[in-house]
């Protein structure tokens, strides 16, 4: 299959989409990735990936287009907004000229969810089905930071998120807890729209042999540890 992956973050930034992309190629799919020049989390472009560095490259067999965007900078509200909007705008314009036919597009929706807009544009113009993998809830994720204080902006953001959900042909969630929030924003049957797609463990957790007894002896009875990433 020909798959278009849209993700504002991508290798060498460390995210799960890198592993998913590699696995899809291994399984024989032709993968094209649309992403921005890497700048997370430092806020400046990685060495070798400057604003005027080459756009097209290859990652483990996938064709990657790294678009020039405004970096995060100091991660203030203004800089993050410019960073998010620049990818949405430049990605949308770029995909308008990507007349290649894809079987579907897949959006890696960590913050910002606005990274789905280029895929929605491609869907509207070329009819490419679009699927969204939600890993961060919006606008709730923005609200808890305390940066979204304007009632007008909050209303606008809720409307934008509803639009993105409703323009998706399918939605995947990394946590079942997210389903309720999404269903409150879309008037479509849960069984037809939302699927559970959790994060997976890194390979070293699967290959390394760990002596559980060695560590359990160091912990008092009833001691519990939660690994959260």
Q: Is 222 domain-assigned? A: no
Q: What angle do CA 134, 136, 137 make, to 5 degrees?
A: 90
Cβ-in-10-Å burial (0-12, 13-18, 19+) of 154 comes to middle
Q: Is 126 domain-assigned? A: yes
Q: What angle do CA 166, 170, 194 make, to 5 degrees?
A: 95
What residues does 64 pair with on adjacent strands? Answer: 33, 57
Mean pLDDT of the chain: 87
Q: Is 66 domain-assigned? A: yes
Per-residue DSSP letter, 208:
S
Q: Residue 228: its pLDDT value, please?
A: 61
Q: Which pTM value belongs to this model?
A: 0.84
Q: Is 227 domain-assigned? A: no
Number of domains in the chain: 1
Phi, psi of 21 (to 5 degrees): -60, -45
Residues 76-109 have pLDDT tens digits of 888 998 999 999 999 999 999 887 789 999 999 9
Residue 57 neighbours by CB distance under 10 Å: 14
Q: Residue 37: its pLDDT value, please?
A: 96
Coil, strand or helix: which one is 215?
helix
Residue 69 neighbours by CB distance under 10 Å: 24
Helical segments of 135-188, H only: 140-143, 151-166, 178-183
Residue 31: pLDDT over 60: yes
Listed in sequence order, the residues at least 6 apart from 157 whose beta carbon sits closer than 8 Å to its beta carbon are 138, 139, 142, 148
Q: Is 225 domain-assigned? A: no
Chain mean position to CA 147: 21
CATH number at residue 10: 3.40.50.2000
Q: Is 197 domain-assigned? A: yes
Q: Residue 171: its pLDDT value, please?
A: 94
Q: Is the dihedral of CA 202, 19, 25, 138 positive or negative?
A: positive
Residues 164-197 have pLDDT tens digits of 999 999 999 998 888 888 988 886 555 557 899 8
Q: Is 101 domain-assigned? A: yes
Smallest Cα–Cα separation from 157: which of 173, 179, 137?
A: 137
Tokens representing residue 30 in the block: 């032709």
What is the domain extent for residue 210? Answer: 2-216
Q: Is 164 domain-assigned? A: yes
> 13 and 40 in contact (C-beta within 8 Å)?
yes
Smallest Cα–Cα separation from 139: which of 121, 178, 118, 113?
A: 113
Residue 45 neighbours by CB distance under 10 Å: 18
Q: Is the peptide bond before 139 cis (omega within 30 degrees of 0)?
A: yes
């Amino acid at each position: 299959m020909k798959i278009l992956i849209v993700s504002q973050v991508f290798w060498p930034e460390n995210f799960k989409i890198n592993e998913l992309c590699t696995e899809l190629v291994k399984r024989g799919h032709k993968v094209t990735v649309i992403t921005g020049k890497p700048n997370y989390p430092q806020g400046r472009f990685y060495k070798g990936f400057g604003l005027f560095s080459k756009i097209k490259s290859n990652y483990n067999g996938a064709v990657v287009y790294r678009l020039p965007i405004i970096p995060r900078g100091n991660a203030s509200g203004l800089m993050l907004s410019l960073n998010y909007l620049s990818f949405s705008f430049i990605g949308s314009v770029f995909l308008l000229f990507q007349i290649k036919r894809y079987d579907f597009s897949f959006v890696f929706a960590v913050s910002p969810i606005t990274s789905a807009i280029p895929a929605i544009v491609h869907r509207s113009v070329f009819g490419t089905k679009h699927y969204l993998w939600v890993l961060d809830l919006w606008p709730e994720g923005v609200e808890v930071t305390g940066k979204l204080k304007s009632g007008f902006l909050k209303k606008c953001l809720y409307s934008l998120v509803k639009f993105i959900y409703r323009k998706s042909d399918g939605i995947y969630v990394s946590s079942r807890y997210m389903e309720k929030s999404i269903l409150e924003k879309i008037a479509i049957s849960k069984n037809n729209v939302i699927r559970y797609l959790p994060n997976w463990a890194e390979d070293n957790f699967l290959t390394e042999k760990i002596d559980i007894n060695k560590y359990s002896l160091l912990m008092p009875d009833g001691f519990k540890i939660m690994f959260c990433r």
